Amino acid sequence: MAIDTRALRDRRFPVVDCSLSARDAALHALSLGLGVNPVDAQTRPLVLQDAIGGARVLPTQLATLGHPGPWMRDPGSGIDGRQVVLAEFRLQVHHLPGLGAPLRAHNRITHVWDLGPARGARVVVERRIHEPQGRLMACMQQVLACLGDGGFSQTQPGAAVDDPLDELPVAPTGAPDVRDLRPTRPDSALLFRLLGDLNPIHVDAQAALAAGFARPILHGVATLGLACWSVLQACAQGDPRRLRSLAARFAAPVHPGEGLEIWLWPQRDRVRFEARVQGRDLPVLRRGVAELAPLD
């Protein structure tokens, strides 16, 4: 069954009630390896749920809230759910939610486009997180790469195909202003999936192979979380509340246990970034950009 663009855009997802717990905030940070130095003053509020002065939330944890579940594995979606990976992620933070505060997540499909038989398709799922009273807290766009579903527009005369999202900016040329080395834990994917992303390509060798990977890969949001922390630590005094937006394209997979080298180009309250796997000189994040709130 091929993708039907109209059916995908008309798909209705149930509202998801959720909240950020101090435990899950700590688990998110620990899965990224931020607890390696337990006395580090900047990471302690992220990895301790009972931190003196209050626990803090790394903004990328918002991506784990209100997920609509493995809907792409429904045969009615027309998507080969075994070959779906995250291609790009964009996050806007209007207000960082407080721990334990009730939230509601609304998901919808906003874009579908075809790259051709050999390159797959792209589907954009937008998620908006609100307080029950209606105030918008965050909005994110997950660009899914449907690797086995390209060419559907050529077999469906008149199929309506959306234009792609606007391109993220290319990183500056030349050496970065900051190089930050970030190890990943060998068990990071096992820990990260406890936050709700149960895609088997992160833990099952056969599922990873079916999706075209030699072995299980780290969650894309975990890779982005490490880049987010590099940005905050280098450019925002480690304060997660200053992040206003974050976006990047996933260029290649990371395997749990590999080290990352994150390149930063700060430009006032705007930071461009990329990430590479150490030892393989392989770019894994491209076109990264973060916006920070100015200091008071």
pLDDT of 258 over the 70 cut? yes
Specify the range with the lowest mean pLDDT, choosing from 69-78, 262-271, 278-287.
69-78
CATH number, domain with residue 123: 3.10.129.10
Can you give the pTM of this predicted structure? 0.92
> Structurally, how many domains does the chain consist of?
1
CA distance 82 to 105: 25
Instruction: Label residue 158 by pLDDT band (50, 70, 90).
Output: low
pLDDT of 157 over the 70 cut? no
Neighbours of 48 (CB within 10 A): 18
Mean pLDDT of the chain, nearest integer: 90
Residues 119-151 as b/e (b if ≥16 CB within 10 A, e otherwise) read ebbbbbbebbbbeeeeeebbbbbbbbbbbebbb
pLDDT of 150 over the 70 cut? yes
Q: Mind listing the pLDDT tens digit for each residue in 174-209?
A: 899 999 999 999 999 999 999 888 888 999 999 898
Q: Mind listing the pLDDT tens digit for each residue in 4-49?
A: 888 888 899 999 999 999 899 999 999 999 977 766 778 888 888 7
Where in the sequence is the domain holding 39, given as residue range(s)? 5-292
